Amino acid sequence: MEFRLLGPLEVWEDGRPLSLGGTKQRALLAILLLRANEVVSRDVLIDELWGEQPPASAAHSVEAYVSRLRKTLHADRAGERSSSRDRPVTCSASTSRSSISTDTSDCSRRAGVRSRRTRQTMRSRS
């Protein structure tokens, strides 16, 4: 699975793009990907998605978005037994987490290339 954050948000698997849903659901995925491998509370997700004036239904909406994302991202793994580490999005009653390796996100790969170039430049100057 490949996550593309630079440009339009896309997720590709087996050479095909996945349908990510509406604007808020896509924004939720972007938030989780930008905080890869961190636990993100429902309150933080609500604040990021709606700002200072969330609707009364915000908590339920976040749960629905996470549920739909999990179904989309785990669709091909439905019959497989896997640990939570193998799932791109995991959640508990009040938190969500994206578990992605740094080589599956274009943003992370680009940052890695930039880091390597910086280290190489620093070594050549010393």
Q: Where are the domains of the chain?
A: 2-125
The pLDDT of residue 10: 92
Low-confidence ranges of the chain (pLDDT < 70): 75-126
Structure confidence at residue 5 (pLDDT): 85
Residue 87, amino acid = R
Right CATH for 2-125 from 3.40.640.10, 3.40.50.460, 3.40.50.300, 1.10.10.10: 1.10.10.10
pLDDT of residue 100: 63
- What distance in Å separates the CA atoms of residue 56 and residue 78, rounded to the nearest whole number? 33
**What's the pLDDT score for residue 113?**
45
Per the CB < 8 A criterion, the answer to whether 8 and 18 are in contact is: no
**pTM of the predicted structure, to 2 decimals:** 0.69
Check residue 81 and give its pLDDT: 44
Q: What is the pLDDT of residue 35?
A: 86
- Write down the pLDDT at residue 122: 54
